[in-house]
Amino acid sequence: MAEYTTTNPTTGRTDKEFTTLDSAEVERVLDRSHAAFADWRATSTQERASLLERVADAYAERSRELGELIAVEMGKPLQQAIGEAELAGSIYRWYADHGPELLQPEQLDPQGAQESRVQTEPIGPLVGVMPWNYPYYQVARFVAPNLMVGNTIILKHAEICAGSSEVMAQILHDAGVPRDAYANVFASHDQIADMIADPRVRGVSLTGSEKAGAAVAETAGKHLKKSVLELGGSDPLIVLDDGDLEQVARTVATARLSNAGQACNSPKRIIVPTARLEAFVATIVESFESATLGDPLDEDVDVGPLSSVGARDGVVEQVRRAVQQGATLHTGGQALDRDGAFMQPAVLTGVTEDMDAYAEEIFGPVAVIYGVDSEDEAVTLANDVDFGLSGSVWSTDLERAQAVADRLDVGMAYINEHGTTLPGLPFGGVKRSGFGRELGRWGMGEFVNVRLRRTSAA
């Protein structure tokens, strides 16, 4: 059954089909990952770090090739795609540089003994379930820290990213990571559920939808497995009344159009002072209408297609329904009459809490802009959804902005920037945006056994 299919979202043409594992292959993957764990965990931390350094070098050397691959595979504009490959490489390099130190035993207050110390140990084979919107970056966030720790990995990528997932496996194996320490699998959802339930697998990380996260968490919880979930987001971006609204508006427009709006932590709900709303909307509309749409391999293109026609049609329907329910559409919102998964970026205002667009995530090039009359109203609106991935506050008064940011119910709060991701910073959300953290030292701490060794005199 060819569930894994590479279809170019620019042309709509299917380039290649891949076949999923059969039941016997699932068993072999589990056996090999389990068997490889003993040797991989026994590999010195310096050797594991050296291998990750080689992986980082490969991402740097092959960044354009890797960027071109996902531009064709899921529609990311080329410069953004190259930047993503470089970011993924920087994550592998960060763990190569910092991993051995983070795995050193920690000496505690002996509290009456000769010594009390904590050792950090791997727990075993892990399953990773990854999304299509950032094919390299999402994998690196999960893979780099866990290979560094000494866990083995079974990686299931999104069905539309089969080609890039094969290349990622090749890079890791060419760098010296044993083939059974990192296995790329074209597995069905049922097969992944069976893997998570298998006693040889000790944990699972998923980045994806709420529905997928709930299903994975249910299976993991039933079998007492640790899980980390990074799910949806409907990030608020608050502009205070002392902000440079035109500059912020242009920054917001660029951020919202990046990757055709297909980012969990993109600023999806933009909150500005009512007195400045009209001018702010006008700047966003002008930026959206002047953006160049087209083939993501064209370096002059700002916005490529969405990942698939189905994804595009879903976003178009969300915009149509918002207008039907009473929202104001200032520009765009329609599918383009051409091959591929293109839509005209849209700007909405007048969305109220009784409309679907108020609470749901819009995973596409759509800006929803609200006007408010006070900081308190802005914070209430920002927190009045079930998501809590990240949020930002924009102001020239940093203390004031920090005070507002501290009131946001999110996992990551930014001042005068939005969605920044760096290898040493924790990434993750609260509420229905998931639980657990990736990146930095926090990413090293999710799938480990924190083992106490205490020594007292005989």
Q: Which residues are catalytic?
A: 230, 264
Sign of CA dihedral 223, 228, 133, 354: positive
Output phi, psi for 381, to 5 deg: -65, -40
What is the H or E stretch that residue 227 is in? strand 226-230
Write the CA distances from 119 to 102, 436, 450, 452, 454, integer angstroms: 10, 21, 6, 6, 11
* Pair type for strands 235-239 and 267-273: parallel
Q: Cβ atoms within 10 A of the Cβ of 200, count?
A: 16
d(CA 356, CA 314): 13
Q: Per the structure block, which two tokens stand in for 108?
A: 């505690």
List the alpha helices (DSSP H) in 120-209. 135-149, 162-175, 189-197
DSSP type of residue 423 = T
3-class state of residue 366 by DSSP: strand
CB 231 within 8 A of CB 436: no
Determine whether 19 is exposed, middle or buried from the number of CB atoms within 10 Å of its CB (0-12, 13-18, 19+). exposed
Q: Within a 13 Å sphere around the CA of 66, how many CA atoms are in the beta-carbon half? A: 30
Q: Per the structure block, which two tokens stand in for 354?
A: 């009784």
* Core vs surface per residue 363-391: b (16+ CB within 10 A) or e: bbbbbbbbbbeebeebbebbbebebbbbb
Residue with tokens 């899980």: 227
Residues 6+ positions from 28 with CB-CB distance below 8 Å: none
* Pair type for strands 412-415 and 390-394: parallel
Residues 6+ positions from 293 with CB-CB distance below 8 Å: 301, 302, 303, 304, 336, 342, 344
